[in-house]
Amino acid sequence: MSKVTEIFASNVFDDRVMKSRLSAKVYNSLKNTIDLGTRLDPSVADAVAEAMKEWAVEKGATHYTHWFQPLTGITAEKHDSFISPSPDGRVIMDFSGKELIKGEPDASSFPSGGLRATFEARGYTAWDPTSYAFIKGKTLCIPTAFCSYGGEALDKKTPLLRSMQALNKQALRILKLFGNDTVKHVSTSVGPEQEYFLIPQELYDKRKDLIYTGRTLFGSKPPKGQEMDDHYFGVIKPRVEAYMTDLNEELWKLGILAKTQHNEVAPAQHELAPIYATTNIATDHNQLTMEIMQKVAKKHGLVCLLHEKPFAGVNGSGKHNNWSISTDTGVNLLTPGETPYENAQFLLFLCAVIKAVDDYQDLLRISVATAGNDHRLGANEAPPAVISIFLGEELEGILKAIETDTPYEGIEKKVMKLGVSVLPRFTRDTTDRNRTSPFAFTGNKFEFRMLGSSNSIACANIMLNAAVAESLKIYADRLEGAENFEEALHQMIKKTITDHRRIIFNGNGYDDAWIKEATEVRGLLNYRTTPDAIPHLMDEKNVKMLTEHKVFSEEELRSRTEITLENYCKAVVIEANTMEQLARREILPAIEEYAAFVAKTANAKKSLATDLACTYETETVKKLSQLASDAYKSLDKLAAALVKVQGAKDVIEEGYLIRDELLGVMDELRASCDEAETITAAKFWPFPTYDELLFGVR
């Protein structure tokens, strides 16, 4: 492997390349757009396009693509070559500013949730200069936003950028109130920790459920799962290590700061965490990471599973979204400061997050709602579907002292009247690492832990940024008009703590008693499934907040409600169809074959000696027959449920029908088949079993 410092970002048209290849004027203009979010000067586009093309062609690229993130959840690209005919019958490599700035993919096959009628196929991709262009294979990829003819966002990036803008605007107002005029821009950063499974390709190829749905729909528990806790942080097997080495190298070339890798809790499960980056870049990078994880796995004869629950009975995969707010002057606004004044500002931002998470629990829940993630949330391996915040003892103590006007025992025995000057210093709390909380303060950032491993992190961060922007706006409105800033600040922080203390919970989030307390005593929301959660996107307060901050238009929200539910329904219906096919055409025939073999053996034995008991054979055949009949009955029910689902009048009803009528029958069918697996000879079973899949990489 070549030197890491040399290969890092070697395929990225980054600041270094721009500086060396663009004129000072063009570079400065572009840099203003990138760093400060100023509007792009169209006259620089031609120069940038030319430089980009030259750089890309030197690196062997022949094509370019507008790379975007439609609402399918994965990235999309359509490649065009740089070639342009020249009069002498040959070609030149050509790329104009116009082609850089705008693309027109035929967008009719991307989900739009009614925003764009299919006859109006046009959609536009627009260059996002804030995320660097890069080369993948032989293609120059230009990160873009994707919108309809009418300007509505059809992707995840546009609202993400809008949410960052909204937060920037409100945060700057607050900073100004604290006398800070030097900060020009505030943005959020994210470090997403990505979990995944690796299994052998040849076993994957034999499992239609994995191929069609990304998860196993059948499979009895292996004799050994994760109960010994011997995989987490365990020694990495050579084959996995080779994979990780290759993966890191590919990611580094793209300027992705792959940093940490280790084995996770379940056998065959691993994690990769990058160093955090600005949210929109972190989002692009996470999409690329997922794509490259899968690509590199193929090269190693492996398959990388990114589904939230590839295997029942062992932990599924999530993604922790470590999030913070910082200024262009390099200050993390979620770091407790050195001086009381800084701490007052810190407390205000902290309160803004607390208020945001409480007021918009539903939006955060919605942002992670998918069919796959429904298997994890609340299943004692990931946070519950109820949102709460973990703050740790010290912060909790400080907030309590402020709320009750009592001395804070932790550091100084002083009543914390937040006349800023008397607020004591406090240190960041690093003692407790509560792993069960959906939303944990971890010293200088919040870790949102409900995301599923395959989720785009855009959705969660859009909601988080927007909700925090709303808290900050309310604060800024109050404080800007206040006669006595310090008094108003004190009252506001106090009020936030009183009003929102219900969302703070430092205990065990996996405990059933917590869910009871959260919902019955504290009145927190518990949207257990995707169909429960998604329709609330259109709740009046949510539409009001998101449209006021210009993160979404009402039409965009309606379309997203539709698309998210549609994605959920399609995913589960495909699972049901796959189960039906596997049960009818592979599992039942296998059971029959084995039962026939056993019966034949019994007959053969009896023909030797009529008084042989043949208990094993008789009991096995009986049990297998019973299970086959049960499975057959479940198949009938499954077919009936599918008919009902198809008859739904809209996608909301379809979601409810799936939740209430279909999922239970799928579990029932699986239970009979999985039990049959445990008493069928291994060589008769039609596809690789859990123990082979989970322990197959050696």
Residues that bind ligand ADP (CB under 6 A): 189-191, 193, 273-276, 322-324, 332, 444-445
Rounded Cα distance, 331 and 337, in Å? 10
Nearer to ligand ADP, 443 or 535 (CB): 443
Name which of ligand ADP, Mg ion, none residue 189 binds, using a CB cut-off of 5 to 8 Å depending on partner kind: ligand ADP
Q: How far is the CB of 449 from Mg ion (least distance, A)?
A: 7
* Residue closer to Mg ion (CB basis): 156 or 320: 320
Residue type, 57: V
Between residues 442 and 620, which has the closer beta carbon with respect to Mg ion? 442
**Residue with Cβ nearer ligand ADP (163 or 216):** 163
Measured from the CB atom, the residue of 189 and 526 that comes closer to ligand ADP is: 189
Q: Which is nearer to ligand ADP, 432 or 555 (CB)?
A: 432
201, containing H or E segment: helix 201-204
Q: Is 668 helix (H, G, I), strand (E, B) or coil?
A: helix
Residue 225 interaction partner, one of Mg ion, ligand ADP, none, beta carbon < 5-8 Å per kind: none
Neighbours of 566 (CB within 10 A): 16
User: Of these partners, Mg ion, ligand ADP, none, which one is at the site of residue 53 (CB under 5 to 8 Å by kind)?
Assistant: none
3-state secondary structure 214-254: CCCCCCCCCCCCCCCCCCCCCCCCHHHHHHHHHHHHHHHHC
Closer CB to ligand ADP, residue 256 or residue 347? 256
Residue type, 628: A
Place of tokens 């939303």: 439
Interface residues with Mg ion (CB under 5 A) are 320
Of 125 and 289, CB closest to ligand ADP: 289
Distance CA 182, CA 644 (A): 61
Rg (CA), the chain: 28
DSSP code of 256? -
| Minimal distance, residue 530 CB to Mg ion, in Å | 24
Q: Which does 220 bind (CB under 5 to 8 A by kind): Mg ion, ligand ADP, none?
A: none
Binding at 332: pick from Mg ion, ligand ADP, none (beta carbon under 5-8 Å per type): ligand ADP
Residue 538: alpha-carbon gap to chain centroid: 21
Q: CB-wise, 320 or 549, nearer to Mg ion? A: 320
Residue 33 binds which of Mg ion, ligand ADP, none (CB < 5-8 A, kind-dependent):
none
Q: Toward Mg ion, which CB reaches closer, 410 or 443? A: 443
Among ligand ADP, Mg ion, none, residue 32 binds (CB under 5-8 Å by kind): none
Q: Hey, is 77 helix, strand or coil?
A: coil
Cβ neighbours of residue 159 under 8 Å, at least 6 residues apart?
A: 153, 458, 462, 551, 552, 556
Contact yes or no for 622/571 (Cβ under 8 A): no
Output the smallest distance, CB 638 to ligand ADP, in A: 41
Question: Residue 80 to residues 12, 93, 240, 320: CA-CA distances in angstroms?
Answer: 19, 11, 36, 36
Q: Which residue is nearest to ligand ADP (CB)?
A: 191
**Minimum distance from residue 258 beta carbon to Mg ion (Å):** 16
Question: If contact means CB under 5 to 8 A according to the sort of partner, which of Mg ion, ligand ADP, none does residue 445 touch?
Answer: ligand ADP
> What token pair was written down for 10?
């070697």
Q: Which is nearer to ligand ADP, 140 or 190 (CB)?
A: 190
DSSP-derived pairing of the beta strands 446-452 and 318-327: antiparallel
What is the C-alpha to C-alpha distance for residues 664 and 679, in angstroms, rounded to an integer? 24
Question: Which of Mg ion, ligand ADP, none interacts with 268 (beta carbon under 5 to 8 A by kind)?
Answer: none
User: Which of ligand ADP, Mg ion, none has residue 444 at its interface (CB below 5 to 8 Å by kind)?
Assistant: ligand ADP
CB of 342 to ligand ADP, least distance (A): 16
626 CB contacts (<8 Å, ≥6 apart)?
none
Residue 461 C-beta: closest distance to ligand ADP, Å: 11
In the complex, what is the shortest distance from the CB of residue 675 to ligand ADP, in angstroms, rounded to a whole number?
Answer: 39
**Quick one: which of 84, 79, 59, 56 has its CA closest to 67?**
79
**Which residue, among 549, 472, 447, has the nearest Cα to 190 in the 3D structure?**
447
Query: CB of residue 194 vs Mg ion: minimum separation in angstroms?
Result: 11
Q: Please, what is the minimum distance in Å from the beta carbon of residue 4 to Mg ion?
A: 24
The sign of the torsion formed by the CA atoms of 502, 506, 507, 512 equals: positive
What CA–CA distance (Å, rounded) separates 318 from 297?
Answer: 19
CB of residue 191 to Mg ion, shortest distance in Å: 9
CB of 670 to ligand ADP, least distance (A): 33
Fill in the DSSP letter of residue 425.
P
Buried b (16+ CB within 10 A) or exposed e, 302-322: bbbbbbbbbbbebbbbbbbbb
Looking at the Cβ atoms of 215 and 320, the one nearer to Mg ion is 320
Which of the choices ligand ADP, Mg ion, none does residue 370 contact, using the CB cut-off of 5 to 8 A by kind? none
Could you tell me which residues come within 8 angstroms of residue 473 by beta carbon, excluding any fewer than 6 positions away?
170, 173, 549
Q: Is 581 exposed, middle or buried (0-12, 13-18, 19+ CB in 10 A)?
A: middle
The nearer residue to ligand ADP, 324 or 361, going by C-beta atoms, is 324
Burial class (CB in 10 A: 0-12, 13-18, 19+), 540: exposed
Q: Which single residue is written with the structure tokens 């009020």?
A: 495
> For the chain, how many residues are written?
698
Nearer to ligand ADP, 225 or 383 (CB): 383
Least CB distance to Mg ion at residue 498 (A): 30
Q: Cβ 583 to ligand ADP, closest distance in Å?
A: 40
Q: How far is the CB of 320 from Mg ion (least distance, A)?
A: 4
Q: Which does 276 bind (CB under 5 to 8 A by kind): Mg ion, ligand ADP, none?
A: ligand ADP
> Which of ligand ADP, Mg ion, none is residue 108 near (CB under 5 to 8 Å by kind)?
none
Ramachandran quadrant class, 179 (left: phi over 0; alpha: psi -120 to 50; beta: rest): left
d(CA 295, CA 303): 9
Do 162 and 550 form a contact (C-beta atoms < 8 A)?
yes
State the minimum distance, in angstroms, from the CB of residue 360 to Mg ion.
22
Smallest distance, ligand ADP to C-beta of residue 189, A: 4
* Strand pairing report for 389-390 and 439-441: parallel
Residue nearest to Mg ion (CB): 320
Output 191 or 383, the one with its CB closest to ligand ADP: 191
Q: Output 406 or 427, the one with its CB closest to ligand ADP.
A: 427
Task: Report how far residue 153's alpha carbon sits from residue 563's, in angstroms, rounded to the nearest whole number.
Answer: 13
DSSP 122-147: BEEEEE-TTS-EEEETTEEEEEEEEE
